[in-house]
Amino acid sequence: MGVNIEENKSAVLAHRAGEIAAKIPGGNTLARSVEMMVAWGRANSLWPLLYGTSCCAIEMMSTGASRHDWARFGVEVARASARQADLIILAGTVVEKMGENLLTLYEQMPAPKYVIAMGSCAISGGPFYYDSYSVVKGADRLIPVDVFIPGCPPRPEALFYGIMQLQEKIKKEGREIPWEIGELVKSPCIDTFTKTKQDWAALEKEKDQEMAQAREQFKKENPDYKPAKPMRLKKEKLPSPARKKPAPKGISNWTLLQTLQEKFPEITVHDHPNASRKEVAELGLDYELDLVVPKAQYREVMQYLKDSKELGLEMLIQLTCVDWKEYFDIVVHLLSVERGHKLFLRCRVDKEDGPAIETISDLYPAADWHEREVYDMFGVRFANHPDMRRIYLRNNFPGHPLCKDFEDPSRVIVRPY
């Protein structure tokens, strides 16, 4: 993916017009004066495209707000249409899925056009450089960047400085230095941390070798020398604050367990499979009951919890998945809005022959989106789901990135520490 645009015809015409003017007496002076005025006008009337994706966008908004006010620099008319803009300020993370959209916006902008990469995420992937399957390791791998503004996030003053640097660049453009599309970075991403660590270790080794003779000389001249030991401050003992017991909400854990086991005897408590009534009660009011449901009874249990007037768990808080390498756990978090009690349920799904389980999106409408997310990230299919397709990643994305066995060297640089 990258920029592929034909040569700018307007720049060619302007260059030929300058050549014609140069043949007329005083034409060079006239052409330079016109170029200088045009470049000055373009530099001080930049129209940025609204493109903020994460925390750097807050700093960009602050730059345009009353306290800082980037209108003083001619960057006032922020546009929502690429056809009316000549500057993109990439304020935030650029992910793979939005890469084509970003490229389309860039191609739709009339030339000459410019790009500012604001913040470490837009410059190099930022904190997502390692262990990330979706973040682009630098916007200059997709579109050419004119000015880089480091920081996480950079302050409005830094963005002002970046705009001023871009203005200086624009003012120099003309026949001698024409505007042209920059080059993209095509070099492969590398493990910069390990390389830096190795370089640092080599410098320290060289330093130790240089200092070895001085150390030996010092030991001979000061045989009784002992380095000073830092004083340790005495740790202050603070009284433990009295803990207030939370008020019980809704049905107790034991009542929930007893009611469910009467109808579904195979249900057990996670990590406490043979827990007695007393043991469940001793887990405390802070403990949310975590039950293990057999896969064959998963949908039936969910139907019962939704329809039961006694339990009344009518709200789905979360449906997610846990990869235990050998199998998946589908985890469901339910709430009784009226009474306040909550309940965790987990159901084991084997990985063999393609992991699959029944959908509960018709019982809990919120599960529609959650189940699609689990399918996208883990590959677990939900039978009879009305729209079982990816929700975040492209349809041709290889594999499911939150699985423990996911590997993709072309996208993911594994953290070396």
Structure-token match 């546009």, residue found: 79
Task: Reply yes or no on whether the pLDDT at 2 is more than 60.
Answer: no
Peptide bond into 294 cis (omega under 30): no
Q: For 381, phi and psi rounded to 5 degrees?
A: -90, 145
Q: Where in the sequence of the chain do the CATH 3.30.460.80 domains occur? A: 253-383
Count of alpha carbons within 13 Å of 117, Cβ hemisphere only?
24
**What's the token pair of residue 394?**
């492209």
Residue 417: C-alpha distances to residues 196, 270, 306, 307 (Å) = 13, 32, 46, 49
CA distance 267 to 23: 93
Closest C-alpha among 85, 104, 148 to residue 1: 104
Cβ atoms of 119 and 126 closer than 8 Å: yes
Closest C-alpha among 398, 393, 373 to residue 97: 393
Neighbours of 385 (CB within 10 A): 18
Using pLDDT thresholds of 50, 70 and 90, give the confidence band for residue 17: low
- Which residues, including other chains, have CB under 8 Å from residue 200's CB and lie 6 or more apart? none
Peptide bond into 230 cis (omega under 30): no
Query: What is residue 5's predicted lDDT score, i.e. its pLDDT?
Result: 45
Cβ atoms of 83 and 104 closer than 8 Å: no
CA distance 145 to 349: 47
Q: Where in the sequence of the chain do the CATH 3.40.50.12280 domains occur? A: 9-171
**Chain segment 34-57, per-residue pLDDT in tens:** 778 888 888 888 999 988 898 999
Task: Give the mean model confidence (pLDDT) for residues 390-394.
Answer: 90
- C-alpha dihedral sign at 363, 365, 370, 372: positive
Output 305 or 352, whichever has higher pLDDT: 305
CA distance 341 to 351: 32
Residue 21 burial (C-beta neighbours within 10 Å; 0-12, 13-18, 19+): middle
Task: Give the mean model confidence (pLDDT) for residues 86-111.
Answer: 91
Residue 410 burial (C-beta neighbours within 10 Å; 0-12, 13-18, 19+): exposed
Strands 114-118 and 315-323: unpaired
Average pLDDT over the chain, rounded to an integer:
87
Neighbours of 267 (CB within 10 A): 17
Task: Reply yes or no on whether the pLDDT at 395 is more than 90.
Answer: no
Query: What is residue 240's predicted lDDT score, i.e. its pLDDT?
Result: 87
* Protein fold of 9-171: Rossmann fold (3.40.50)
Query: What is residue 9's predicted lDDT score, i.e. its pLDDT?
Result: 56
CA distance 373 to 158: 38
Neighbours of 318 (CB within 10 A): 13
Query: What is residue 14's predicted lDDT score, i.e. its pLDDT?
Result: 57
The structural architecture, per CATH, of the domain 253-383 is 2-Layer Sandwich (3.30)
CA distance 58 to 55: 6
pTM: 0.75
Strands 290-293 and 268-269: antiparallel
Query: What is residue 6's predicted lDDT score, i.e. its pLDDT?
Result: 46
Largest CA distance in the chain: 104
Using pLDDT thresholds of 50, 70 and 90, give the confidence band for residue 10: low
Length of the chain: 417
Task: Reply yes or no on whether the pLDDT at 21 is more than 80.
Answer: no
